[in-house]
Amino acid sequence: MSSLETPDINPFDQIQKFFKEFKGDINIIDEKIDVLLQMEYFELSKQFRDINELHNWEEASKQLFNEAIDLNTKKKLLSQIAAINDVKAYRTIESYVKVADPDLRHWSLLAMQESRMLLQSKLLEQSQVLVSTGLGGKDGKLRYFFVLFNRNNEPYTETQQKVVRNEFDYVFKKNTADIEEINFYENIATILGLVPLTIPIQDIFIKTISEINQFGNFVRENCIITNVRIMSVDEIRDFIENNNNPIIKI
């Protein structure tokens, strides 16, 4: 049994400890990229990390810019080129990103990130870690989507909306986190924000709810927290109908 599987150890605490102690570079994928696509990319790319099977890659890379070449072939090419430790390989992918087929834009961004990390690892002689979530991140922070529910299932009043905005702004700034967007849909409040890797997400959110509830106790303690994707209002309502409103960390 690994340390993360030990019952008395919180996996999230272990992740926070790792980020605090890690001495290399931490790379965060900024873009919002579907998690299933990321899994597909890394599943394919790991085939080329140790053994580079792409000979004459500079000649082969021309196929990336050939509109007659099918997308699956281009996917493989991008993954192969990303495994080549050569600045020219990185520049090739970088050039393709600018003109990428719409269906391959996110795939090419993943390839460019992997290629950049490979070069950095060699040039800087530092370990590299890639952090990727469905919602991406920015400046060492991960993006999260939060959902708050009115305790009485009533629409948030203007005063309550102001309290939610003010308290999120206060607690997030105090923790060097950023609010990107807050929206209200009757009894539902959604927040999109960036939280530093080293800040326990549960703690910051529990603290915010506690601060909000000092002004009328109108928000439920149970909420949704996810970094996979932004949920629509209908998806949120369907989720609540089929669950007991636990705190969700996806």
DSSP string, 52-94: ---TTHHHHGGGGG-TTS-HHHHHHHHHHHHTS--HHHHHHHH
Helix (H) or strand (E) holding 172: helix 158-174
Let me know how many helices (H) and strands (E) the chain has, helices first: 9, 8
* pLDDT higher than 80, residue 196: yes
Helical packing angle, 87-99 and 105-124, nearest 10°: 160
Helix (H) or strand (E) holding 96: helix 87-99
Kindly state the average pLDDT of the residues 57-70.
Answer: 88
Q: Note the pLDDT of residue 54.
A: 65
Q: Note the pLDDT of residue 9.
A: 43
Domains of the chain: 28-131 (no CATH), 137-249 (3.30.70.1290)
Beta strands in 47-206 (DSSP E): 128-131, 137-138, 141-149, 178-185, 188-196
Q: Is 81 in contact with 54 (CB distance < 8 Å)? A: yes
Q: Between 45 and 96, whose confidence is greater? A: 96
> What is the rounded CA–CA span in Å between residue 10 and residue 20?
16
What residues pair up with 131 in beta bridges, in sequence order? 28
**Least reliable range by pLDDT among 107-116, 120-129, 236-245:** 120-129
pTM score, whole prediction? 0.68
Q: Between 4 and 156, whose confidence is greater? A: 156
> What is the rounded CA–CA span in Å between residue 189 and residue 177?
18
Helix (H) or strand (E) holding 95: helix 87-99
Kindly state the average pLDDT of the residues 132-144.
Answer: 83
Q: C-alpha dihedral over 150, 209, 228, 14, to 10 degrees?
A: -150
Q: Note the pLDDT of residue 177.
A: 92
Q: Is 67 in contact with 53 (CB distance < 8 Å)? A: no
Count of alpha carbons within 13 Å of 188, Cβ hemisphere only?
17
Q: Between 50 and 59, whose confidence is greater? A: 59
Q: Note the pLDDT of residue 51.
A: 55
What residues pair up with 189 in beta bridges, in sequence order? 148, 184
Q: Between 240 and 15, whose confidence is greater? A: 240
CB under 8 Å to 108, separation ≥6 — which residues? Answer: 78, 93, 96, 97, 100
> What is the rounded CA–CA span in Å between residue 58 and residue 63?
10
**Least reliable range by pLDDT among 47-56, 113-122, 130-139, 143-152:** 47-56
Token duo for residue 90: 């990185």
Kindly state the average pLDDT of the residues 149-171.
Answer: 93
Nearest Cα to Cα of residue 104 among 84, 138, 131, 77: 77
Q: Note the pLDDT of residue 57.
A: 83
The pLDDT tens digits for 8-25 are 444 455 555 655 555 556
